[in-house]
Structure 1
Amino acid sequence: MKLYGFAGTRSQRALWGLKEVDADFEFISVNLLEGEHKRPEFLRLNPAGKVPVLVDGDQVIPESAAIVLYLADKYPQKGLLPADLNERAQVYRWTLFAVTELEQPLWRITRHTLVYPPDQRLPADIELARADFATMAAILEAHLDARDFIVGDRLTVADCVTAYLIDWANEVRLIDAFPRLQAYLERLYARPEAPKRIAEARKAA
């Protein structure tokens, strides 16, 4: 397998999944700062021009959460998706909660602070996004009461997807008021299979 990605981005999620299932893979850096994601050879893999992309034989899979779900199905013995249907449903629920309710406000903040040209940035939307994130983070904070993982008693897809977002939120000081999320972040990234934290990955790039 080949993983096309860039340090500190959602590629960290895919790396986490690959490490958790102990997969043999090659990491191919796509330098976003130099525009490599806009080159024709990469756009043939992902017309959206975004990383990560996993290539496994004839399978070409963009979208970080989809990659982790694919790996969970490819390596069922690793337990990233529970065998029990009810627990599996909860993994799906929290994975989608992460990418819709937590990730979107974080991405809005990033767009209006780094991605958009200065004349297109909306400071007011940054504040709205911060408030939106805090509202949804409070739900996860409550859910993590007396829990080490989001679903069940072991790491699942939901954790691979969500832990990266909590690290992202930590980068912009959005979890200061959430002690369980802070503890969850430290606990998950203490795993030997965990990828580098966002700040560490960027420094090493």
Structure 2
Amino acid sequence: MLKLYGFAATRSLRVLWALNELDAEFEFVSVNLLTGEQHRPEFLRINPAGKVPVLVDGDVVLTESAAIVIYLAEKYPDKGLLPVDRKQLAQAYRWVMFAMTELEQPLWRITRHSWLYPEDQRIPAEIPAASQEFIAMAAVLEDHMTGRQFIVGDTITIADCVTAYLMDWANEYHLIDEHPQLRAYLERMYARPTAPLRIAEALARIDLEVA
């Protein structure tokens, strides 16, 4: 059985989304980042980087959420997360890379300098700079989504599993307020019965467990 190591509102959510879309049987293993479980020797043997998510599929151990989504889509080709048409497949890969490089990186900068880094390591000027970078690249996706339900083709693909989570992340920072196509896409994607928890919901569950 597939085993996914993850935690709450992390990028584990996009892997959960893919697993749900694929209707794959798997075991979820929670790695509590708040208590430092990612630094325990038994987890570091799985991922020396000490990060989640990690997928274990027999003797295959895979890190990096986008890579895991692609791997799963290839493992279950009949489920349709990878387009059959070569041109559409190329576009799906293109938008996955766009999401990871142009959209996720500025969101990480904002997160690090807003609250993740210790206060003495934060650079406040990074937040508006990264916000503008994200907004500029989000405008590219905004234009692309005009008249579309999904990023590539007429059904959900790897590009959506990777990107929808980022739209929710950006929404937490009010970075898609001026992008109506992306807001509609966000709501449409999370209305799917296969959608994972939204980030705010996942964070609220952590708070309840801690309380």
**TM-score, normalised on structure 2?**
0.96
**Cα distance in 1 for residues equivalent to 2:127 and 2:28:** 33
**Cα distance in 2 for residues equivalent to 1:188 and 1:3:** 22
Q: What residue number does 1:132 align with?
A: 133
Q: What residue number does 1:68 align with?
A: 69
**Cα distance in 2 for residues equivalent to 1:113 and 1:6:** 20
**Cα distance in 1 for residues equivalent to 2:26 and 2:56:** 10
Structure 1 segments, 4+ long, off by >4 Å, are none
Q: What residue number does 2:90 align with?
A: 89
What SS is found at the alignment partner of 1:184? Answer: helix
Q: What residue number does 2:173 align with?
A: 172
Instruction: Compute the displacement of 1:31 (Å).
Output: 0.5
| RMSD across aligned positions (CA) | 0.7
Instruction: Compute the displacement of 1:47 (Å).
Output: 1.2
| 1:14-33 matches, cutoff 5 A | 14-33=15-34
In the TM superposition, what whole-angstrom CA distance separates every residue of 1:145-177 from its partner, at most 9, and x where no partner exists?
000000000000000000000000001111101
Instruction: Compute the displacement of 1:204 (Å).
Output: 2.3
Q: Which amino acid aligns with 1:172?
A: Y
User: Number of residue pairs matched?
Assistant: 205
**Cα distance in 1 for residues equivalent to 2:205 and 2:19:** 19
Instruction: Compute the displacement of 1:115 (Å).
Output: 1.6
**Cα distance in 2 for residues equivalent to 1:47 and 1:110:** 23
Consecutive unaligned residues of structure 1, counting only runs of 5 or more, are: none
**Cα distance in 2 for residues equivalent to 1:114 and 1:23:** 35
Please tell me whether residue 163 in structure 1 is matched to residue 160 in structure 2: no
**Cα distance in 2 for residues equivalent to 1:47 and 1:93:** 29
Instruction: Compute the displacement of 1:113 (Å).
Output: 1.2
In the TM superposition, what whole-angstrom CA distance separates every residue of 1:25-70 from its partner, at most 9, and x where no partner exists?
0111001111111111111111111100011111101111011101
Consecutive unaligned residues of structure 2, counting only runs of 5 or more, are: 207-211
**Cα distance in 1 for residues equivalent to 2:174 and 2:46:** 34
Q: What residue number does 2:193 align with?
A: 192
**Cα distance in 2 for residues equivalent to 1:170 and 1:20:** 23
| 1:38-49 matches, cutoff 5 A | 38-49=39-50
Q: Which amino acid aligns with 1:137?
A: A
**Cα distance in 1 for residues equivalent to 2:174 and 2:48:** 33
**Cα distance in 1 for residues equivalent to 2:179 and 2:103:** 14
Q: What residue number does 1:123 align with?
A: 124
**Cα distance in 2 for residues equivalent to 1:78 and 1:204:** 31
In the TM superposition, what whole-angstrom CA distance separates every residue of 1:76-132 from its partner, at most 9, and x where no partner exists?
000000111100000000000000000000000011112211111001011100000
**Cα distance in 2 for residues equivalent to 1:168 and 1:48:** 23
Q: Which amino acid aligns with 2:158?
A: V
Q: Which amino acid aligns with 1:81?
A: L
What SS is found at the alignment partner of 1:123? Answer: coil
**TM-score, normalised on structure 1?**
0.99
